[in-house]
Amino acid sequence: MTDTTNNNPNPNDGDPILVMNRLCKNYQLGTVELRVLREIDITIYSGEYVAIMGPSGSGKSTLLNMIGCLDRPTSGSYRLGDMDVSQLDDNALSSIRGSRIGFVFQSFNLIAQLNVIENIEIPMFYQNRPEHESMQRATELATLVGLGDRMKHRPSELSGGQQQRVAIARALSNDPLIILADEPTGNLDSSSGADILGILDRLHSEGKTLIVVTHDENIATQAQRVIRLFDGCIAEDTYNHKG
């Protein structure tokens, strides 16, 4: 079922969408230099469904922040799409985050005082999409994730699973290159979790590129490719061949 060779050719024959080359991240803690990521090499192709796994302290979160352009690497290069984003300034990174990455968080991270539609519209607002257009798109996306009848509800009036669906709709709004999810089922009961996994699966089958950081072995089995981190290094990079 699992093929353990690292240089497995990409089964989808897509273009490389994310290329990390000898990427390092160090943190200075007083006089000690903490090497959190050590020479990471990853290439992810368009349409892949990748699970990043690893124990606490393995550098998972840091790698997620790197992929999500929330942080800059200490050394090495990171290409996202057609652009080297490793040394961009804060404004450029903000705009990359808004346009090329769709975030899904463990704790949903919806803005409490905004309703479903307004939450979905946030990324489009910062990309200066015209109001009527983003309104229309947000409505479509809300319907897509099955919340067509709750568009005016506040997050506090929704269940966890529904909130995470809003978050997924929000992540899709600018049609990003990759959807980056951090423990998307971590705060959900098993049935809502399965719900969310179903949606992720559907997005994958529609050709979206998904990167999911998780502890959840269910996701690992569902994903096409599993990258395991240990001590800031890639310990394993495997492709699942589903039956």
Partner 1 sequence: MHKLRSTLTMTGIIFGVSSVVAMLAIGEGASRDAQEKISQLGSRNIIVKTLPPPEDKSSVGQQQTMKEYGLTYDDAERFRGGIPNVRVLVPNRRIPEQALYRNKRVSVEVIGTVPWYPEISSLRVKYGRFITSTDTHYKQAICVVDEFVLKELFAFDDPFGQFVKIGTDYYRVVGVSTAQKQESSSGMNVPGSAKSGGGANVGKIYIPLTTARTRFGETSIQIGTSGATLERVELQEIIVQSKTIDQVLLTRQSVQSLLARFHKKSDYEIVVPLELMERAKDVQRIFTIVLGSIAAISLLVGGIGIMNIMMATVSERTREIGIRRALGARKLDIVMQFLSETLILTLCGGILGIAVGSLVPALVTYFGQMRTVITPASLVMAFGISAAVGIAFGIYPAYRAANMDPIESLRHE
Instruction: Give residues in contact with partner 1 (CB under 8 A).
Output: 65, 68, 70-71, 90-91, 94-95, 97-99, 103, 105, 109-111, 122-123, 126-127, 170, 174
Pick from 70, 14, 71, 85: nearest CA to 43? 14
What is the C-alpha to C-alpha distance for residues 122 and 58, in angstroms, rounded to an integer?
32
| Residue nearer to partner 1 on the CB measure, 99 or 218 | 99
CB 45 within 8 A of CB 12: yes
Least distance in angstroms from the C-beta of 224 to partner 1: 25
In the complex, the smallest distance separating the C-beta of residue 21 from partner 1, rounded to whole angstroms, is: 23
Residue type, 120: I
- Is the CB of 90 or the CB of 206 nearer to partner 1? 90
Closest approach, Cβ 9 to partner 1, in A, equals 33
Q: Which long-range contacts (CB under 8 A, 24 or more apart) does 80-89 make?
A: 80/17, 80/18, 80/177, 80/178, 81/17, 81/177, 86/23
In what helix (H) or strand (E) does residue 204 lie, and over which residues does it extend? helix 190-205
Cβ-based nearer residue to partner 1, 70 or 135: 70
Nearest approach, Cβ of residue 243 and partner 1 (Å): 37
Q: Measured from the CB of residue 173, what is the shortest distance to partner 1 in angstroms?
A: 9
Provide, rounded to whole angstroms, the least separation between the CB of residue 210 and partner 1: 17
144 Cβ partners below 8 Å, 6+ apart?
169, 172
∠ CA(44), CA(140), CA(100), 5° rounding? 25
Count how many Cα atoms sit within 13 Å of the Cα of residue 2 in the half-sphere of its side chain. Answer: 12
Q: Given the complex with partner 1, which of 65 and 139 has the nearer CB atom?
A: 65
Q: Side by side, which strands form the sheet with 225-230?
A: 2-3, 233-240, 225-230, 49-53, 209-213, 178-182, 101-104
